[in-house]
């Protein structure tokens, strides 16, 4: 029996398990690309508008940080600048989670052991997962290229842009293959890989911010940090601007190296084990652990710390970048108008800060979903059954989880607001005042997060088996409505679906109590539905 | 007043009818064996008794209360060992035990430490690093550390080695001595025989038999082998005699315990030279209820029956069940000789 025996059969199993996810991924990416390309073409129809856009983007450090380096004034270049980072992040995370799901998670649940006892080679499970996921990335890229050409963009550039996105997926497939070997839990493997995605984002942003503007003012030549970020490679292909095809060899090289490393690691460790030896712990439970609240804190604290560090760094740097924003606005009235419309207020810098806080609130939504879905993970594992067989009521158990997630969200919001305020305050000379003001403004986003918590709780109560998929889908919809809704020119009714739409964009506008109260009421209703449904259903189910 | 009282219990999962009019009565202070083939509805019943699942119809009372409505209050008075123990992977075993005990309303720290020692369990290891048997031990220690009125144990010893099995049996006897009631679902017949005052056997969501082991034995035929001076005749006409056949001059047959008298009266007339009678083993007893073809299961030799009619279980439950047939043979042999 060779080390790869059974790969084909396992690959079919992966396809079978993920047929719906894969279909959404492979068809969703090109559809999104097509829609975005079309609407960008509508917003920047002529050379003049695009020249303005390119010049602004090349000179703005914020645009460089969030949209990557601009490469000229071709319509395709504008489409890439507007969409690349969002699509690349989505593809990176999808690939990561898919790899973990079909490797480490199988080991964690013991499914792999069941398979391993059959005629299955040592490397077969990993190889099967990688084959399917690389194939999915490739197929999605081919369709994306077709979609971009269909939207009227030049062939070579479309292929390069689509391949760049596919390359990001392939690169993170390789990274996840390695992290799946390192951590014992699928949560840990996902967290490691997601941290790599975050690090890549920061490196790319740094490299692009530190880069030089070309002589004609419409291009950015990134500095070296972008080159050590798999997210940055896609930009270096320079789609629609004299494509550098050889850059696409980088993700392929990373894939080969990653697979080799993953095989070598798999060779060294036992089934189900990681490379980091487990530590021992206390023989008795400390009194503060021994309650639903204590347990919830214990389960959340690691995750919360990771989020706190990430948000603090991001908030602080975005705050500092706020000052640079003033310069950019002065240079470009058209962009000023766009940002103004986004924030909705008079003062442009406040619009920028409001947009930042909105972005953080969306991100913290992911924390809330992740934290609350623990209940479902516990239910699927069987731990919930053991807990509910003790003298703890279902209401108390679920309520504790919701409360823990809410408190976590409050802490993270406050932290993000305060660090943004500190950063902005340091460059403008009023750190304390700004920290207090933006900390308060950030907290006003809480009702939207309560709605997110309510949505997850309601889904968990009513459709437990679909909790994970539906909860993340809901958040993704909110995210897409917020990030791309304006570019896609969606009707207001569609935008209203997202709770984030209704939060007053403080500090760009004055706070208003009514929308916040309505959001809180909606959240309360959703929570009540979720708890009531949970009280009346079977556990486990 | 019975501690557990279930009447005509029905539970469906979509199209699957997991419980189909189940009855179960467990009296105060008894150890009650709860048996049945895989998928017959034991765990489902237990989860209903714990208020985890909601019954479709029928009555269920635990310690005089409704398990669904009074779940929290009831749970202070009972302890549960799930069939498939899973724990918080990043807590240590000691922390998991203390947490479960505390959530139940407190545990006896002295007992906890003693049990850890007796079960030879290292409480400083993370739950994710425990073997199946050790996870099982964590749940058992957590349950027996709490002085409660009712212990609900769903295949608690699947995965325990024989030494630990003995410690477990001691614990069950101890809590029984202290006046507690135990509901014990198990596939390990030796354990059932050693511990249970009464057993209920269920099949396809319905109770098929309930009583003491002695009572159940009386419902099952005794195997008789007899060597006589003259060929025996007229056996087929006797009531309660089945499966008569001759091998090498010896007559083999099965007889219902109630008709032993008539059988002996008949045999004596042909000059009995040798006679052995074997009461049904537990294995035969259960296989009669478990298998698709009860008659075949009852007539086959124990080993053959075990091989052909044994419920096709998981590897984990298969191993102890196989081991138990030896134990049964030892227990039954002296009784057989005494008859
Ligand atoms: N959540 C569920 N959804 C659908 N069917 C279920 C569910 N839980 C149990 N069943 C079905 O109900 C029946 C009874 O299952 P149960 O787990 O109670 O059996 P059991 O007697 O405990 O078996 P075992 O000896 O294998 O533990 C089985 O057919 C099982 O497949
Ligand atoms: Mg069971």
Residues A135-171: tens digit of each pLDDT: 999 999 999 999 999 999 999 999 999 999 999 999 9
**CA-based angle B113:B114:B117, to the nearest 5?**
90
Return mean pLDDT, chain B: 84
**CA-based angle B131:B137:B138, to the nearest 5?**
95
Q: Which residues of A133-148 are buried (b: 16+ CB within 10 A; e: fewer)?
A: bbebbebbbbbbbbbb
Cβ separation A391–B104 shorter than 8 A: yes
Mean pLDDT of all residues in A304-326: 81
CA of B82 relative to ligand 2 center, distance in Å: 9
C-alpha A525/C-alpha B4 separation (Å) is: 38
CA of B311 relative to ligand 2 center, distance in Å: 13
Q: What are the structure tokens assigned to A380, written together?
A: 């699927």
**CA-based angle B124:B129:B131, to the nearest 5?**
105
Q: Which residues of B287-301 are buried (b: 16+ CB within 10 A; e: fewer)?
A: bbbbbeeeeebbbbe
pLDDT of res. B321: 37
pLDDT of res. B76: 95
Tell me which of B43, B72, B314 to substitute to probe the interface with A (most A C-beta atoms closer than 10 Å): B72
Identify the closest residue of chain B to A381 by CA–CA distance.
Answer: B86
Cβ separation B100–A390 shorter than 8 A: yes
Which of the two residues, A101 and A529, has the higher pLDDT score?
A529
| Cβ B333 under 6 angstroms from ligand 1 | no
With a CB-CB cutoff of 8 Å, which residues 85-104 of chain B face chain A? 85-92, 94-100, 102-104
Cβ separation B86–A382 shorter than 8 A: yes
Could you tell me if A261 and A178 are in contact, meaning their C-beta atoms sit under 8 angstroms apart?
A: yes
Handedness of CA A462, A464, A465, A471 (dihedral sign): positive
* DSSP annotation of B221: P
Could you tell me if A117 and A150 are in contact, meaning their C-beta atoms sit under 8 angstroms apart?
A: no
| Cβ B40 under 6 angstroms from ligand 1 | yes
Which of the two residues, A431 and A119, has the higher pLDDT score?
A431
Can you tell me which atom of ligand 1 is nearest the CA of B37?
Answer: 25
Identify the closest residue of chain B to A295 by CA–CA distance.
Answer: B99
Q: Please name the residue that has the structure tokens 């007053």.
A: A504
Q: What are the structure tokens assigned to A117, written together?
A: 């006892």
pLDDT of res. B36: 92
C-alpha A502/C-alpha A183 separation (Å) is: 40
Q: Is B65 in the A-facing interface, judged by CB distances under 8 Å? A: no
Domains and CATH numbers, chain B: 4-215 (3.40.50.300), 220-326 (3.30.70)
From the list A532, A524, A537, A501, the residue with the least C-alpha distance to A454 is A524
In this prediction, residue A96 has a pLDDT band, given cuts at 50, 70 and 90, of: very high
pLDDT over 60 at B294, yes or no: no
Report the percentage of chain A scoring pLDDT > 90: 52
Cβ separation A392–B95 shorter than 8 A: no
C-alpha A96/C-alpha A222 separation (Å) is: 26
Q: Residue B97: its chain A contacts at CB < 8 A?
A: 285
Q: Residue A382: its chain B contacts at CB < 8 A?
A: 82, 84-86
Residues near ion ligand 2 (Cβ under 5 Å): B 43, 83
pLDDT over 50 at B325, yes or no: no
| Cβ B13 under 6 angstroms from ligand 1 | yes
Which of the two residues, A229 and B329, has the higher pLDDT score?
A229
Determine the 3-state secondary structure of B11 from DSSP: strand
Q: Residue B80: its chain A contacts at CB < 8 A?
A: 386, 389
Handedness of CA A462, A466, A471, A477 (dihedral sign): negative
User: What is the separation, in whole angstroms, between the first and last Cα of chain B?
Assistant: 37
C-alpha B195/C-alpha B172 separation (Å) is: 8
Identify which of B6, B10, B12, B13 to mutate to test ligand 1's pocket (most ligand atoms within 8 A of the CB). Answer: B13
Q: Is A117 in the B-facing interface, judged by CB distances under 8 Å? A: no
| Cβ B311 under 6 angstroms from ligand 1 | no
Identify the closest residue of chain A to B146 by CA–CA distance.
Answer: A390
Identify the closest residue of chain B to A541 by CA–CA distance.
Answer: B53
Determine the 3-state secondary structure of B81 from DSSP: strand
In this prediction, residue A228 has a pLDDT band, given cuts at 50, 70 and 90, of: very high
Phi, psi dihedrals of residue A44, rounded to the nearest 5°: -120, 75
Q: How far is CA A75 from CA A51, A54, A82, A156, B94, in A?
A: 10, 10, 11, 13, 63
Mean pLDDT of all residues in B66-70: 96
Q: Please name the residue that has the structure tokens 């490691």.
A: A192
| Cβ B2 under 6 angstroms from ligand 1 | no
Report the percentage of chain A scoring pLDDT > 70: 92
Determine the 3-state secondary structure of A370 from DSSP: helix
With a CB-CB cutoff of 8 Å, which residues 19-48 of chain B face chain A? 47
pLDDT over 70 at A336, yes or no: no
**CA-based angle A16:A18:A20, to the nearest 5?**
105
Q: What is the pLDDT of residues A277-293, one digit of tens each?
A: 667 889 999 999 999 99
User: How many of the other CB atoms lie within 10 Å of CB of B42?
Assistant: 25
C-alpha A421/C-alpha A312 separation (Å) is: 11
Q: What is the pLDDT of residues B190-232, one digit of tens each?
A: 899 899 999 999 999 999 989 998 888 777 788 899 999 888 8
Could you give the ipTM of this predicted complex?
Answer: 0.79
CA-proximal residue: ligand 1, atom 25 (nearest): B38
Strand partners, B11: B19
Q: Is B84 in the A-facing interface, judged by CB distances under 8 Å? A: yes
pLDDT of res. B324: 37
| Cβ B44 under 6 angstroms from ligand 1 | yes
pLDDT of res. A416: 96
C-alpha A263/C-alpha A121 separation (Å) is: 12
Query: Which of the ligands is closest to the CA of residue B53?
Result: 1
In this prediction, residue B96 has a pLDDT band, given cuts at 50, 70 and 90, of: very high
Least CB-CB distance to A389: which of B50, B54, B129?
B50
C-alpha A284/C-alpha B145 separation (Å) is: 14
pLDDT over 90 at A440, yes or no: yes
Query: Which of the ligands is closest to the CA of residue B36?
Result: 1
Q: Residue A540: its chain B contacts at CB < 8 A?
A: 52
CA A166 to chain centre: 17
Query: Taking every pair of C-alpha atoms in chain A, what is the biggest distance, in angstroms?
Result: 72
| Cβ B251 under 6 angstroms from ligand 1 | no
Tell me which of A184, A279, A285 to substitute to probe the interface with B (most B C-beta atoms closer than 10 Å): A285
Strands B78-81 and B150-154: parallel
Give how far A15 is from chain B: nearest CA, Å. 27
Strands B250-255 and B241-247: antiparallel
User: What is the separation, in whole angstroms, between the first and last Cα of chain A?
Assistant: 40
Lowest mean pLDDT among A75-89, A108-122, B283-297, B300-314: B300-314
Cβ separation B128–A184 shorter than 8 A: yes
Cβ separation A391–B85 shorter than 8 A: no
CA-proximal residue: ligand 1, atom 18 (nearest): B41
C-alpha A136/C-alpha A120 separation (Å) is: 23
In this prediction, residue B154 has a pLDDT band, given cuts at 50, 70 and 90, of: very high
Q: Is B54 in the A-facing interface, judged by CB distances under 8 Å? A: yes
In this prediction, residue B312 has a pLDDT band, given cuts at 50, 70 and 90, of: very low
Q: Residue A292: its chain B contacts at CB < 8 A?
A: 103
How many beta-carbon pairs under 8 angstroms link A with B?
Answer: 112
User: How many of the other CB atoms lie within 10 Å of CB of A1?
Assistant: 10
In this prediction, residue B295 has a pLDDT band, given cuts at 50, 70 and 90, of: very low
pLDDT over 50 at B117, yes or no: yes
C-alpha B127/C-alpha B89 separation (Å) is: 5
Lowest mean pLDDT among A419-433, B45-59, B276-290: B276-290
Identify the closest residue of chain A to B112 by CA–CA distance.
Answer: A284
Give how far B123 is from chain A: nearest CA, Å. 5
In this prediction, residue B292 has a pLDDT band, given cuts at 50, 70 and 90, of: low
Identify which of B43, B56, B201 to mutate to test ligand 1's pocket (most ligand atoms within 8 A of the CB). Answer: B43
Could you tell me if A482 and A358 are in contact, meaning their C-beta atoms sit under 8 angstroms apart?
A: yes
Report the percentage of chain B scoring pLDDT > 90: 60
pLDDT of res. A276: 62
CA of B16 relative to ligand 1 center, distance in Å: 9
pLDDT of res. B337: 34
């Amino acid at each position: 029996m060779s080390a790869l025996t059974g790969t084909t059969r396992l690959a079919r199993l992966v396809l079978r398990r993920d047929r719906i996810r894969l279909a959404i991924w492979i068809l969703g990416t090109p559809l999104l690309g097509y829609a975005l390309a079309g609407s960008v073409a509508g917003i920047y129809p002529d050379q003049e508008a695009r020249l303005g856009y390119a010049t602004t983007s090349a000179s703005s450090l914020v645009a460089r940080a969030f949209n990557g380096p601009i490469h000229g004034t071709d319509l395709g270049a504008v489409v890439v600048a507007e969409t690349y980072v969002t699509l690349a992040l989505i593809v990176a995370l999808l690939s990561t989670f898919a790899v973990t799901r079909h490797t480490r998670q199988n080991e964690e649940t013991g499914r792999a052991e069941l398979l391993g006892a059959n005629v299955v080679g040592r490397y077969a499970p990993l190889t099967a997962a990688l084959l399917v996921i690389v194939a999915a990335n490739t197929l999605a890229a081919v369709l994306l290229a077709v979609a971009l050409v269909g939207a009227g963009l030049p062939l070579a550039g479309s292929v390069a842009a689509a391949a760049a996105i596919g390359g990001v997926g392939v690169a993170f497939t390789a990274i996840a293959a390695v992290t799946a070997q390192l951590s014992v839990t699928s949560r840990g493997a996902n967290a490691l890989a997601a941290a790599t995605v975050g690090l890549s984002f920061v490196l790319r942003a740094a490299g692009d911010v530190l880069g030089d503007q070309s002589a004609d003012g419409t291009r950015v030549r990134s500095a070296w940090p972008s080159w050590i970020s798999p997210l940055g490679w896609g930009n270096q292909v320079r789609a629609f601007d004299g494509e550098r095809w050889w850059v696409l060899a980088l993700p392929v090289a990373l894939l080969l190296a990653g697979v080799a490393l993953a095989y070598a690691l798999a060779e060294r460790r036992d089934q189900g084990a990681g490379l980091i030896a487990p530590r021992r712990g206390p023989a008795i439970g400390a009194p503060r652990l021994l309650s639903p609240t204590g347990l919830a804190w214990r389960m959340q604290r690691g995750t919360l710390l990771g989020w706190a560090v990430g948000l603090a760094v991001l908030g602080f740097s975005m705050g500092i970048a706020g000052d640079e924003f003033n310069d950019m606005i002065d240079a470009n009235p058209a962009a000023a108008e766009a940002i103004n419309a986004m924030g909705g207020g008079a003062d442009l810098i406040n619009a920028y800060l409001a947009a930042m806080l909105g972005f953080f609130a969306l991100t913290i939504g992911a924390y809330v979903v992740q934290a609350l879905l623990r209940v479902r993970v516990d239910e699927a594992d069987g731990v919930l059954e053991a807990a509910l067989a003790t003298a703890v009521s279902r209401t108390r158990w679920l309520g504790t989880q919701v409360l823990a997630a809410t408190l976590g969200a409050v802490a993270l919001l406050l932290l993000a607001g305060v660090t943004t305020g500190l950063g902005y305050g340091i460059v403008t000379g009023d750190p304390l005042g700004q920290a207090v003001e933006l900390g308060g403004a950030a907290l006003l986003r809480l009702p939207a997060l309560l709605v997110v918590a309510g949505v997850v709780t309601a889904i968990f109560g009513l459709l437990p088996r679909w909790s994970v998929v539906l909860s993340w889908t809901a958040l993704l919809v909110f995210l897409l409505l917020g990030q791309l809704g304006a570019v896609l020119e969606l009707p207001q009714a569609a935008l209203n679906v997202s709770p984030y739409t209704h939060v007053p964009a403080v500090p760009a506008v004055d706070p208003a109590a009514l929308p916040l109260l309505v959001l809180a009421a909606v959240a309360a209703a959703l929570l009540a539905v979720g708890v009531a449904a949970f009280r009346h259903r079977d556990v486990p189910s | 007043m019975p501690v557990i009282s279930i009447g005509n219990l029905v539970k469906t999962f979509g199209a699957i009818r997991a419980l189909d009019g189940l009855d179960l009565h467990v009296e105060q202070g008894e150890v009650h064996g709860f048996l049945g083939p895989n998928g017959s509805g034991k765990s489902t019943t237990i989860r209903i008794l714990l208020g985890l699942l909601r019954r479709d119809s029928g009555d269920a009372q635990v310690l005089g209360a409704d398990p669904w409505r009074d779940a929290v209050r009831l749970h202070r008075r009972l302890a549960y060992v799930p069939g498939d123990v899973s724990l918080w992977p990043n807590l240590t075993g000691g922390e998991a035990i203390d947490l479960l005990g505390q959530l139940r309303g407190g545990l006896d720290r002295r007992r906890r430490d003693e049990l850890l020692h007796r079960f030879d369990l290292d409480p400083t290891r993370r739950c994710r690093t425990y073997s199946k048997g050790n996870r099982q031990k964590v749940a058992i220690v957590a349950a027996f550390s709490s002085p409660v009125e009712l212990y609900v144990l769903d295949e608690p010893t699947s995965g325990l080695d024989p030494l630990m099995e003995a410690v477990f049996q001691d614990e069950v006897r101890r809590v029984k001595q202290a006046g507690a009631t135990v509901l014990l679902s198990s596939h390990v017949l030796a354990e059932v025989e050693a511990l249970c005052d009464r057993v209920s056997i269920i099949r396809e969501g319905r109770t098929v038999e309930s009583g003491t082991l002695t009572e159940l034995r009386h419902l099952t035929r005794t195997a008789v082998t007899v060597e006589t001076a003259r060929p025996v005749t007229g056996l087929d006409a006797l009531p309660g005699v089945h499966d008569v056949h001759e091998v090498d001059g010896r007559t083999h047959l099965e007889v219902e315990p109630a008709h032993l008298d008539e059988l002996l009266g008949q045999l004596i007339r042909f000059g009995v030279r040798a006679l052995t009678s074997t009461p049904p083993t537990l294995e035969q007893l259960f296989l009669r209820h478990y298998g698709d073809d009860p008659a075949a299961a009852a007539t086959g030799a124990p080993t053959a029956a075990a091989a052909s009619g044994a419920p096709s279980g998981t590897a984990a439950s298969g191993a102890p069940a196989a081991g138990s047939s030896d134990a049964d043979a030892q227990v039954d042999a002296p009784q057989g000789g005494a008859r």
